[in-house]
Amino acid sequence: MLSLLVLVFALVGRYGLMESGWLPAECGGSLAEGVQGWCGAKWALIQSFVHQRLGWVSLVAGVLAFVTRSRLLALCGWLIGIAGLVLYSFDYAAVGAVLSLLVLARHLAQEGNGNQQSHREPSERLGVERL
């Protein structure tokens, strides 16, 4: 559910605000002078993906999650990767999102195996009787 929410916000940011021309085209001024109102929103949105920042953050979180098997880092890498894929940072965000998704899938598989009974012999799991 959280992944879908991040996807919707990223799509609204890209297609609803940036590419539709809804945000002002010329803001003037600089960051040192202060950016306010809709120009500030545009500046913050652009800064999130300039120099592939979202992609780099997703990649770093994905690699750290993969190495440490941290579920929290994997979730962060996945969510930021989704936003990066939509917001022009797809090169690194794709790798970070996949690494994060591998860690999340592993945790999910381990939780599923923990709910099943453990058996000593493989034949017990198959329901095969000894001869």
DSSP 68-121: H--HHHHHHHHHHHHHHHHTT-HHHHHHHHHHHHHHHHHHHHHHHHHHSPP-SS
d(CA 92, CA 52): 8
Domain annotation covers residue 81: yes
Residue 73 neighbours by CB distance under 10 Å: 21
In a domain? residue 126: no
Give the domain range for residue 74. 2-14+40-115
Note the pLDDT tens digit of each residue in 116-126. Answer: 555 565 555 56
Name the DSSP letter for residue 32: T
Output the six-digit token pair for 66: 């993969």
The span from the CA of 93 to the CA of 78, in Å, is: 9
Q: Which amino acid is at 43?
A: W
pLDDT of residue 127: 60
Inside any domain, residue 131: no
Using CA atoms, how far apart are residues 107 and 47, in angstroms rounded to an integer?
Answer: 33
Q: Which band of pLDDT confidence, cut at 50, 70 and 90, is reported for residue 35?
A: low
Triad 126, 127, 128: Cα angle to 5°:
90
Three-state DSSP at 68 gives helix
Domain assignment present for 19: no
pLDDT digits (tens, 9 = 90+) for 38-86: 777 777 778 887 888 999 999 999 999 999 999 999 999 999 999 999 9
Asked whether residue 106 is assigned to any structural domain, the reply reads yes
Instruction: Please check whether residue 45 lies inside any domain of the structure.
Output: yes
- Range 74-102 average pLDDT: 94
Domains: count for the chain = 1
Report yes or no on 55 lying in a domain. Answer: yes
Whether residue 125 is contained in a domain is answered as: no
